[in-house]
Structure 1
Amino acid sequence: MGYPQQPQDPYGQQQPSGPYGYSGPQPQYGYGQQPSGPPPRRTNTGLIVLLVVGLPLLLLGGCAAVVLVLADAGQRAVVTEADPPAQVVPSRQPESNAVPTEDSESAAEAQSSAAAVGGALTLAGIDPGLKMTVTLTKVVNPATPDQYSKPKTGNKLVAIELTLANSGQAVYDDSPTNGATLIDGEGQQFRPTYSDVGEGQAFGGTSTINMGDSRKGVIVFEVPESAQPAKFQFALNSGFADQKGEWALS
């Protein structure tokens, strides 16, 4: 019994027949093999891990570099500020062998000693040649005010009488009241008041005293009734002269 003959192509090759009589090309499988599914999908897991780990490390490295630069700059600034200051050297040493002059001796005498009531002190002014001999002649405590110069309740008036004699080589042109200060036993200072009293004529405003001439007047102070006058101070040039005479009143 023979098998039916398979059809051949024009070149004499036999064409295999597929199932159901299909004679086209057939897929080739090995024995017992099944057709495989679609190829697996590719993922970016490695790239994601690299970005997650590497990017923070890169940022941390940049921040550390900035911190180091700032710290180094700050350290240099501190070192610059810590430099020692320059020292100023005096260009001239003080002269210790200076010969005392008449004016300097008068200044030392006026500043180191205090006169009593009735005593005289010779004081120098700022202007060259200005020199006045000041005598405190009396203290009136309390002084009698006139009808227009009554002190406040609880206060009294004290009058200091002075004689100003021009013993220098310049004209004295100043207000004696401006250079006067009264100090009580507790160390409180009082400035003059422009009041008139019955025990003498006030200097008032400006006095002009030529060389060899003199003036006499009173300087009036308003103080508490309990105050006890202890010292009187006076200086030329409205109190701005370096020399200041002082009299003890008790």
Structure 2
Amino acid sequence: MSVRISTRRTAAVLLGACLLAAATACGPDKSSVSTSPKAADSAPAASASGGSGDQGKAAGSSTAKLGDTIGLKGTEKSNTADVTLVKVVDNAEGADEFTKPADGKRFVSVQFRIKATGSAAYADAPANSAKVLDDKGQGYSSSLDETKAGPEFPVPANIAPGESALGFITFEVPSDAKLDKIQFAMDSGFAQQTGQWKL
């Protein structure tokens, strides 16, 4: 198991380093956070064991929430994707008896659907692209741990133009943290545009 995790970590780090180099070569650009969902493009959403998602909000809200899709741009014009926050599983159980959060922490597994909408394929490590934020503004990056919530994205995830993939990304957060937002940015998090969903 440790060999598999080490291989995933190495692949994710190398992919992230390559994308950082590419983003730096493109020069500076204005950063933005997109909180507006695409109209009538939401996928069914669900929240489990902890109710992190608020599905009772009125339809047509201008703030993206669980189930909504945000159109995102990468560092290259050909690299775009529609990213949907599908499901949030709070207090997720580790994939096996050896996978447990550290003392004072819990696993939160977040399921995304990524649809490649540009002329180029989506080839990235989605776990590098996502983070969760608590109600104090503290951000948490993804963990390499897997849970019983469902299958993780492969590293890298390769999605042909017009096609989509579904996968979980797991985070290890303090037990008392109240999650408030989830963010996703293309190119392993180095794209100038970040999508944000309110929980």
| TM-score normalised according to structure 1 size | 0.54
Q: Pick 1 or 2: higher relative contact order, CA cutoff 8 A, min separation 6.
A: 2
TM-score by length of 2: 0.68
2:15 alignment partner in structure 1: none
Asked if 2 retains the 8 angstrom alpha-carbon contact of 1:181 and 1:192, the reply is yes
Aligned to 2:86: 137
Tell me the residue number matched to 1:208. Answer: 158
1:127 maps to 76
In angstroms, what is the RMSD of aligned CA positions? 1.8
Q: Secondary structure at the match of 2:192?
A: coil
Letter in 2 for 1:230: D
Q: Distance in 2 between matches of 1:234 and 1:109?
A: 10
Q: Which has the higher strand share?
A: 2
1:209–1:182 CA distance, 2 compared to 1 (3 A): same
Aligned residue identity for 1:240: F
Look up the match of 2:56.
none
Is 1:227 the counterpart of 2:151? The answer is no
Contact kept in structure 2, 1:174 and 1:207, CA below 8 Å: yes
Contact 1:128–1:170 at 8 Å: present in 2 too?
no
Q: Tell me what 1:173 maps to.
A: 123
State how many pairs are aligned. Answer: 143
Q: C-alpha separation between the residues in 2 aligned to 1:159 and 1:150?
A: 13
8 Å Cα contact 1:177-1:204 kept in structure 2:
no
1:160 alignment partner in structure 2: 110
* Residue 224 of structure 1, CA deviation: 0.9
Partner of 1:99: none
Q: 1:108 to 1:222 in 2, by over 3 A?
A: closer
Query: Is contact 2:32-2:194 (8 Å) kept?
Result: no
**Equivalents in 1 of 2:35, 2:89: separation in Å?**
25
Gaps of 5+ in 1: 1-106
Richer in helix (by share): 1
Percent identity, please. 36
Determine the structure 2 residue equivalent to 1:24. none
Q: Provide closer, same or farther for how the CA distance between residues 204 and 222 of structure 1 changes in structure 2, counting only shifts above 3 A.
A: farther
Task: Structure 2 unaligned segments of length 5 or more: list them.
Answer: 1-30, 37-61
Structure 1 position 229, deviation (Å): 1.0
Specify the alignment match of 1:245 in structure 2: 195
Which residue in the other structure is 1:193 paired with?
A: 143
